[in-house]
């Protein structure tokens, strides 16, 4: 009975609220609200934590294969129980707080870090609607909520009275704020094309996935997003070769577990967002249901993240800031500008842009993307990669004491 009801009304806030409201007196509305929230909270937290656990396994296993080693393989089939073993190990460790640390903030930081990540999940549309129903300002909500992370990282770094942590925190603040700007501007472009701010409506508007329509926006978004979650090549917040562990140097035990959990949650959130905004969300073909499409697409994006993590080194802090302000910001503005003009020309009515319009936009945007990227690379000086030819310094002659003087003439001739 309940199952049918939930399915019919959609598993979201309104649905559950309506289900309980039916047999509760009006005076108990607050109770209904509470129950609904609790149920949702439990469902979201469990779903997110489980998928995060799966992601840690997936990432470590895949990284292992990329690096021609095995990855976790001891616990359970194919090491699937490894996250649980890790969790037990972390929770049983002593939870230390360094002497001189700002205790309340130190304790609060992991929670502030975790909460926004969980909240964002409530608006991601898995199929038609999200846990919170179809929030009509979903895009703004997501952008607003994710920026709380900056605060948490700074709290953690500042309060732990550790210079490495402080370095990580300062870097985090500078970097995360810079990258929020290009990210926000690309999201505006998406909203402009979709003519809506609701995440579900963005998906519904994507007759052509926006990765095709706006490749430039996709590139900027995914770069900015990987900076936002501080992954390679932007992982300087916790760059292990420089800072040891960055902002969570002093954390251990359960608090560290929370921080790690959130850190691994971030790729899922970003991948889900990318899927929603650019890969047409749950929409797919054939008999495969929507949520499955959604998960497949998310996993493809996650695979890309892991692949990049396995392949590239990290940029320096000033280069990262330079990339944000000199590279991504102009690119995102160009993209917004072009898209705005196109939308202005096509002048969509009530039903949004037609498929033909989108195809035309696709063609134009690809051209703009290629030109813009070339221009930016040239401006940033990447084309000047020629190195001077090595010249033998006259300061030392290693053939002085040997009979192989002939060699030197050989070399001179070769040059």
Partner 1 sequence: MYGLGLVKGLMVTAKNLVLPSRMMTVQYPNRKVGLLGLSKATGVPLPKLLLKDPITSVKSLLGMAEVKESLPQHPRFRGEEFSWYEQRCTGCASCAKYCPLGIIEIVTSESGDQMQEGQKYHLDKFDIDIGRCMFCGLCVEACPYDALHMGSGFEEGTYRRQDLVIDKRKLVSAKKTPSTWFRPQLASKKYDPHKGKNVKWDGAGRHEKPSLEQQQEKWAKR
Partner 2 sequence: MPINTQPVTINLGPQHPSTHGVFRLRVTFDGEQVIDVEPVFGYLHRGTEKLAEERNYVQIVTLTDRLDYVAAMTNNLAYVRTVESLTGIEVPERGMYLRVISSELQRIASHLIATGFLLDELGAFHTPLIYCFRERERILEMFEMLCGARITVSYMRPGGVLQDAPTDFWPRLDDFLTSMPGYLDELEGLITENEVVLARTRDLGILSAQDAINASITGPVLRATGVQWDLRKAEPHEVYDRLDFDVPIGSVGDTFDRYYVRIQEIRQSLRMIQQCVAQIEPGPVRSKAPYFIRPDSVDAYVGTESPKGELGFYIVSDGGISPYRMHIRAPSFINLTVLRELLIGWKLADLIVIFGSLDIVVGEVDR
Among 67-75, 234-242, 327-335, 356-364, the segment contacting partner 1 (CB under 8 A): 67-75
Rounded CA separation 347/250 (Å)? 55
Rounded to 10 degrees, the C-alpha dihedral 82/87/89/90 comes to 140
Q: How far is CA 248 from the centre of its chain?
A: 19
Token look-up 């320096």 returns: 316
Q: Which does 268 bind (CB under 5 to 8 A by kind): partner 2, partner 1, none?
A: none
Could you say which of 2, 23, 26, 69 contacts partner 1 (CB under 8 A)?
Answer: 69
Which of 124, 156, 154 lies closest to 138, judged by CA? 124
Q: Which does 4 bind (CB under 5 to 8 A by kind): partner 2, partner 1, none?
A: none
Of 2 and 393, nearer to partner 2 (C-beta) is 393
Rounded CA separation 2/17 (Å)? 13
Answer yes or no: are the C-beta atoms of 214 and 189 closer than 8 Å: yes
Task: Compute the residue count for the chain.
Answer: 415
| Per CB under 8 A, 375 contacts partner 1 | no
**Phi, psi dihedrals of residue 127, rounded to the nearest 5°:** -160, 115
Q: Which does 373 bind (CB under 5 to 8 A by kind): partner 1, partner 2, none?
A: partner 1
Q: Cβ of residue 390: shortest distance to partner 2, in angstroms?
A: 4
| Per CB under 8 A, 318 contacts partner 2 | yes
Rounded CA separation 361/338 (Å)? 9
Q: Which does 76 bind (CB under 5 to 8 A by kind): partner 1, partner 2, none?
A: partner 1
Rounded CA separation 169/239 (Å)? 12
Of 307 and 359, nearer to partner 1 (C-beta) is 307
Which of 235, 257, 232 lies closest to 246, judged by CA? 235
Rounded CA separation 61/247 (Å)? 26
Q: Cβ of residue 186: shortest distance to partner 2, in angstroms?
A: 22
Of 312 and 337, nearer to partner 1 (C-beta) is 312
Q: Cβ of residue 239: shortest distance to partner 2, in angstroms?
A: 6
Which residues contact partner 1 (rule: CB under 8 A)? Answer: 62, 65-70, 73, 76-78, 307-308, 310-312, 373-374, 377, 382-383, 385
Which residues contact partner 2 (rule: CB under 8 A)? Answer: 63, 66-69, 163-164, 166-167, 232-233, 235-236, 239-244, 309-319, 382, 385, 387-393, 395-396, 398-402, 404, 407
């Amino acid at each position: 009975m309940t199952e049918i009801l939930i399915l019919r009304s959609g598993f979201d806030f309104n649905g559950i609220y309506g289900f309980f409201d039916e047999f509760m007196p009006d005076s108990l509305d607050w109770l209904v609200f509470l129950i609904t929230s609790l149920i949702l909270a439990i469902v979201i937290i469990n779903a997110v934590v489980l998928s995060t656990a799966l992601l840690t396994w997936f990432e470590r296993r895949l990284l292992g294969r990329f690096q021609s080693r095995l990855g976790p393989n001891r616990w359970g089939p194919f090491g699937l129980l490894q996250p649980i073993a890790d969790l037990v190990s972390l929770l049983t460790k002593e939870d230390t707080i360094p002497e001189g640390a700002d205790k309340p903030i130190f304790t609060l930081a992991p929670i502030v870090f975790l909460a926004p990540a969980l909240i964002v999940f409530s608006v991601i549309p898995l199929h038609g609607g999200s846990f919170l129903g179809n929030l009509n300002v979903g895009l703004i909500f997501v952008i607003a909520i994710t920026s709380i992370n900056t605060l948490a990282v700074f709290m953690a770094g500042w309060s732990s009275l550790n210079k490495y942590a402080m370095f990580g925190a300062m870097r985090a603040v500078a970097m995360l704020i810079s990258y929020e700007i290009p990210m926000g501007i690309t999201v505006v472009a998406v909203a402009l094309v979709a003519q809506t701010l609701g995440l579900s409506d963005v998906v519904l508007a994507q007759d052509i996935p926006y990765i095709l329509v706006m490749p430039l926006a996709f590139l900027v978004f995914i770069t900015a997003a990987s900076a936002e979650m501080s992954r390679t090549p932007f992982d300087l917040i916790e760059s292990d070769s420089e800072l040891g562990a960055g902002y969570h140097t002093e954390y251990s035990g359960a608090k560290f577990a929370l921080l790690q959990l959130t850190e691994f949650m971030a790729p899922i959130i970003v991948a889900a967002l990318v899927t929603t905004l650019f890969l047409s969300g749950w929409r797919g073909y054939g008999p495969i249901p929507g949520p499955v499409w959604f998960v497949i697409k998310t996993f493809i994006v996650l695979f890309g993240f892991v692949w990049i993590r396995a392949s590239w080194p990290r940029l320096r802090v000033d280069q990262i800031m330079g990339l944000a302000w000199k590279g991504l910001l102009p690119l995102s503005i160009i993209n917004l500008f072009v898209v705005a003009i196109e939308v202005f020309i096509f002048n969509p009515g009530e039903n949004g842009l037609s498929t033909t319009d989108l195809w035309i936009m696709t063609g134009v945007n690809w051209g703009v993307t290629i030109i813009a990227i070339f221009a930016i690379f040239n401006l940033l000086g990447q084309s000047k990669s020629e190195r001077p030819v090595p010249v033998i310094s006259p300061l030392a002659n290693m053939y002085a004491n040997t009979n192989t003087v002939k060699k030197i003439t050989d070399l001179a001739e070769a040059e």
